[in-house]
């Protein structure tokens, strides 16, 4: 569960990666794949997320339509997995990915008897 929370906290940084590079190789030939550093506390988790969101918002605010429509590729071992406009990468591979994992984290919280916070309004665990 902590790995998933850390994965979610780091995802806003993907926006900067997508806007500032033409591709990302998650299994680069001849090199170690990127590794997620473990989060050690709730405070660190929130700080990582908040910092990433601030940077992502600034990057998006400064991105032109031309830059957002430029193609970006995800690679595996130097081979393209997909190539699509940055707008599509942001919507599908960043935002939708975050929504998917946020729902997973909600399930894990529930299974561990941790109150689930409201996402779009109060949750069943809210007492207010």
The answer as to whether 36 is a domain residue is no
The answer as to whether 14 is a domain residue is yes
- How does DSSP assign 13-43, residue by residue? HHHHHHHH-SEEESS-TTSPPP-PPPP--HH
Among residues 85, 96, 47, 83, which one has the least CA distance to residue 63?
85
pLDDT tens-digit map of 21-49: 999 999 999 999 988 888 889 999 999 99
The answer as to whether 80 is a domain residue is yes
Q: What residue has token string 């990468």?
A: 89
The answer as to whether 122 is a domain residue is no
pLDDT tens-digit map of 41-86: 999 999 999 999 999 999 999 999 999 999 999 999 999 999 999 9
The answer as to whether 9 is a domain residue is yes
Alpha-carbon distance of 75 to 58, in angstroms, equals 26
Q: Count of domains in the chain?
A: 1
The answer as to whether 118 is a domain residue is no
The answer as to whether 121 is a domain residue is no
Query: pTM here?
Result: 0.85
The answer as to whether 87 is a domain residue is yes
Q: What residue has token string 């595996």?
A: 76
Alpha-carbon distance of 45 to 2, in angstroms, equals 9
């Amino acid at each position: 569960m902590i790995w998933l929370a850390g994965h979610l906290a780091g995802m806003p940084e993907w926006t900067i990666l997508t806007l500032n590079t033409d591709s990302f190789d998650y299994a680069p030939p001849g090199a170690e794949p990127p590794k997620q550093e473990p989060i050690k506390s709730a405070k660190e988790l929130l700080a990582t997320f908040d910092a990433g969101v601030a940077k992502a918002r600034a990057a998006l605010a400064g991105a032109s339509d031309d830059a957002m429509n430029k193609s970006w590729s995800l690679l595996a071992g130097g081979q393209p997995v997909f190539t699509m406009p940055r707008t599509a990468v942001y919507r599908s591979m960043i935002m939708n990915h975050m929504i998917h994992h946020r729902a997973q984290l909600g399930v894990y919280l529930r299974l561990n008897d941790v109150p689930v916070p409201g996402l779009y309004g109060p949750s069943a665990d809210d007492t207010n």
